[in-house]
Chain A
Amino acid sequence: DAKTTQPNSMESNEEEPVHLPCNHSTISGTDYIHWYRQLPSQGPEYVIHGLTSNVNNRMASLAIAEDRKSSTLILHRATLRDAAVYYCILRANTDKLIFGTGTRLQVFP
């Protein structure tokens, strides 16, 4: 299973943009890049996913490097509710999700 590398923790102030990086140098051509987040005492929640092109949805944007060896999850304006652990996951055609330890995002008012 291809692995991802993320910083253990990051901090942001409310209403500022947040860029959460992820390295995945061993990604294969068929791996999708998925991001999930987990709020305290809850199950993981889907955020966004992509294959090659940058993606936007109502929650966030996903910027994927041209060589696909890294990606960045962008929260355009952080809120207190965005404080969570963010997981970057490579998902192949087996469908299972291989979680790492993720990035704990703290948001300060």
Chain B
Amino acid sequence: DAGVTQSPTHLIKTRGQQVTLRCSPKSGHDTVSWYQQALGQGPQFIFQYYEEEERQRGNFPDRFSGHQFPNYSSELNVNALLLGDSALYLCASSPIGVGATEAFFGQGTRLTVV
């Protein structure tokens, strides 16, 4: 089992551009969550997808959007990039549950906005 895989691992973009990050969940998992981790901080919840719909969302602007495909893989899109969007973006997958399920994280995509 490959676990959670994310691509690309590193990315450099220019302010104002758009970026798409990709995530393949662990086999058997149908729920995907995205997190943003700034340097020296804990991960911050962006949103969660289940059954191809956004199930819940954290305190992030509409520039951050996502999608989940029928095979449960997911994309995170960020429009009009700002310097402050530079961070490690983490994807986590889990089976749908109510608090007792373990989440598996990918290695993340390091996004640098210049």
The answer to whether B105 touches A45 (Cβ under 8 A) is yes
| Nearest Cβ on chain B to A91's Cβ, whole angstroms | 5
Chain B: interface secondary structure?
loop
| Residues of chain A with a CB closer than 8 A to B42's CB | 85, 87, 99-102
Interface string of A66-100 (1 = CB under 8 A from B): 00000000000000000001010001111111111
Which of B41, B99, B101, B105 contacts A30, CB < 8 Å?
A: B99
Which residue on chain A has the smallest CB distance to residue B99?
A: A32
Considering the complex, give the chain A residue whose CB is closest to the CB of B46: A96
A95 and B98 form a contact (CB under 8 A): yes
Chain B residues, CB < 8 A from A99: 35, 42-44
Smallest CB gap from B50: residue in A? A95
A21 within 8 Å of B (CB atoms):
no
The size of the chain A interface, using a CB distance under 8 A, is: 25
B25 within 8 A of A: no
Instruction: Report if A31-B103 is in contact (Cβ < 8 Å); known contacts: A43-B90, A96-B58, A101-B42.
Output: no
Contact A93 B45 (CB under 8 A): no
Interface residues, chain B, with chain A CB atoms under 8 Å away:
4, 31, 33, 35, 41-45, 48, 56, 58, 90, 92, 94, 96-108
